[in-house]
Amino acid sequence: MIEKTALITGASNGMGKAISLSLAGEGYNLIICARNEKNLLNFQKEILEIYPQISVIAIPADLSKKVETLALAERVLEEWGGIEVLINNVGQYETGTLVGGEDELMEQMMNINFYSAYYLSKLLGKGMAERRKGHIINIVSIAGKEPVLGAGSYSISKFALQGLCKNLRLELKPFNVCVTAILPGSTLTGSWEGQKVDPNTLISPQDIALMVLSSLRLSPGANLEEIEIRPIHP
């Protein structure tokens, strides 16, 4: 099941949902992961109703917890032998100062936004290197390049994720494995729930899905290393 199989984390809403549907439309078999089991299973059903010709496996997991992240990777390796595409999309945005904030906030942001991608990339990327084929796509953030005042822990976790992309790319390039970092600005996701925003001033999740597809459609000798996408209106 390795060929044309993608694992997408944070798959049941927002960017993850848009990416999953786009990959399904391209004929990829999917392993979708999210924390909310009910939403995930409903989404699995939705995909299969639209694309009954593909395989969709739903695995609920809280990737802020190392043990569940490792269990996800181990299950993928044991049951399917690996994957062709890994989309590290799961993430969380929280505000808070560095000096006056709680240590737990930094730990939470690092666990969700960085360590989940680190462990999955490490464990599943090894198989890609052995097969000399694969693609890891990390959904980073503009906050991974430009510090965000009032959301320091979030920004630092995204800086770490961007660093992971750069180092993985160097390590995996000799094995024909691509690593792409997508850095969106403000995107219309659940993070804006309860706030009055004009959807026309934000990036659409479908825009991110298009960037994922663009990176996967390149010739075998090309790697789209970094994509920065910002709203046209500040």
Does domain 5-229 fall into CATH 3.40.50.620? no
**pTM summary value:** 0.94
pLDDT of residue 100: 81
Checking if the pLDDT of 232 tops 90, the result is no
Averaged pLDDT, 142-148: 92
Averaged pLDDT, 172-185: 97
Averaged pLDDT, 104-123: 97
Work out whether strand 134-139 and strand 85-88 pair parallel, antiparallel, or are unpaired: parallel
CA atoms within 13 A on the CB side of 118: 18
- Which pLDDT band holds residue 116 (cuts at 50, 70, 90)? very high
* Helix, coil or strand: residue 220: coil
Averaged pLDDT, 133-145: 96
Catalytic residue (choose from 28, 51, 118, 154): 154
Checking if the pLDDT of 201 tops 70, the result is no
CA distance 114 to 211: 21
Checking if the pLDDT of 155 tops 80, the result is yes
Q: Are 14 and 187 in contact (CB under 8 A)?
A: yes
**Domain locations along the chain:** 5-229
Q: Name, in order, each residue with C-beta under 8 angstroms of 70's C-beta and a sequence gap of 6 or more.
A: 119, 123
Averaged pLDDT, 38-60: 97
| Residue 93 annotated as catalytic | no
- Which pLDDT band holds residue 234 (cuts at 50, 70, 90)? low
Sign of the CA dihedral running 164, 170, 176, 182:
positive
Checking if the pLDDT of 225 tops 70, the result is yes
Query: What confidence tens digit (pLDDT) does each residue in 88-107 have?
Result: 999 999 999 888 888 999 99
Checking if the pLDDT of 195 tops 90, the result is no
Q: Are 182 and 138 in contact (CB under 8 A)?
A: yes
pLDDT of residue 190: 59
Checking if the pLDDT of 182 tops 70, the result is yes
